[in-house]
A = this chain, B = another copy of it.
Amino acid sequence: MRFVTISDVEAAAERVKGTALHTPLLPQLWAPGQLWLKPESLQPIGAFKIRGAYNAIAALPDAQRERGVVAYSSGNHAQAVAYAAQVFGIPAVIVVPDVTPRLKVEATRRWGAEVREVPIAERESAAHEVARERGLTLIPPFDHPDVIAGQGTVGLEIAANLPDVDTVLVPVSGGGFASGVGTAIKAKCPGAKVYGVEPELAADTAASLSAGKRVDWPIEDRARTIADGLRAQPSELTFAHLQRVLDGMITVTEDEIRDTVRVLARQGRLVTEPSGATAPAAYLHHSAELPGGRTVAIVSGGNIDPALLAELLA
């Protein structure tokens, strides 16, 4: 297994420049201690996923890229691949479960992608079949070095803007984001601690890191969390990275996530999806488990159903 290096992340940063936004660090003066938010929710597609998807597509040999790409996802990765493909002017097929809400299907079509709706159990196999038949390249959501390197550009930006950061909080699902961010932070700010954050209803990575090997949580269990972007589990590749780069894991409750969506809207003036609020939730509700100091909490995305946001604000 080859680990992603800081050079890979730096090469990714060159590629994503001009497509992914260099998001600012927002000081939060209302919070106790020293907290900065890194609002990846303000990316063009509303989430950090654009970084990894764009980097993976940009890194393909020209002839292969021209034939097009395929992804299976109904979430932010789908929009990231569709949008990146549009930037390159190449075909994209997004395979989604046939139960996907209309709104998400339309959001993906907006970027010119072809959306294929299939029964949920056939999603992955259908994507592989489309890839084979039409010569498209599959862009995985996390299990790929170029995706990890792309997500890691968030860590490079944190290191550039706050070189003396003490603690970085990053959400963990499939682990590509935390792998990339951790790789960048450990290389650029060796004194800083990197903590992964999970909902307690999908805390398979905390369990896995304790056990020293990957522990499987049934999807029925993980599906219970309101943080719908954090229901995946690490691959062999990302788990190996997480074992290297993470200093610890924090698990947050559903109530803490809901509360933090509300607090970020009221105090931080940011619209955040539940998954995007988990890292700030760890700061607000679990400070005793963290080393403290100058802390950056990454807000990973902002694609929340407006009705849910209204409910949480009321």
- Residues of A bordering B, CB below 8 Å: 21-24, 26-27, 29-30, 39, 41-42, 44-46, 83, 110, 262, 265-266, 268-272, 302-303, 306-307, 309-311, 313-314
Chain B residue with minimal CB distance to A46?
B269
A44: contacting residue among B21, B27, B310, CB under 8 A: B27
* 17 new A-B contacts at CB < 8 Å, known A24-B24, A41-B269, A307-B314: A21-B26, A26-B42, A29-B44, A29-B45, A30-B110, A39-B42, A42-B270, A266-B271, A266-B306, A268-B271, A269-B270, A269-B271, A269-B302, A271-B271, A307-B313, A310-B310, A310-B311
For A24, give its contact among B42, B45, B306 (CB under 8 Å): B42
How many copies of this protein are present in the complex?
Answer: 2
Identify the closest chain B residue to A272 (Cβ): B269
Q: How far is the CA of A22 from the CA of B42 in the complex (A)?
A: 15
| Residues of B contacting A42 in the complex (Cβ-Cβ under 8 angstroms) | 24, 26, 39, 268-270
A164 CA to B304 CA, complexed, in Å: 34
Closest to A309 in B: B313
Q: Is the CB of A265 within 8 A of B271?
A: yes
Enumerate chain B residues within 8 angstroms of A21, measured Cβ to Cβ: 24, 26-27
A22 to B27, CA, bound (A): 12
A275 to chain B, nearest CB (A): 13
Residues of chain B within 8 A (CB-CB) of A270 are 42, 269-271
Task: Tell me how far the C-beta of A46 lies from the nearest C-beta in chain B, rounded to whole angstroms.
Answer: 6
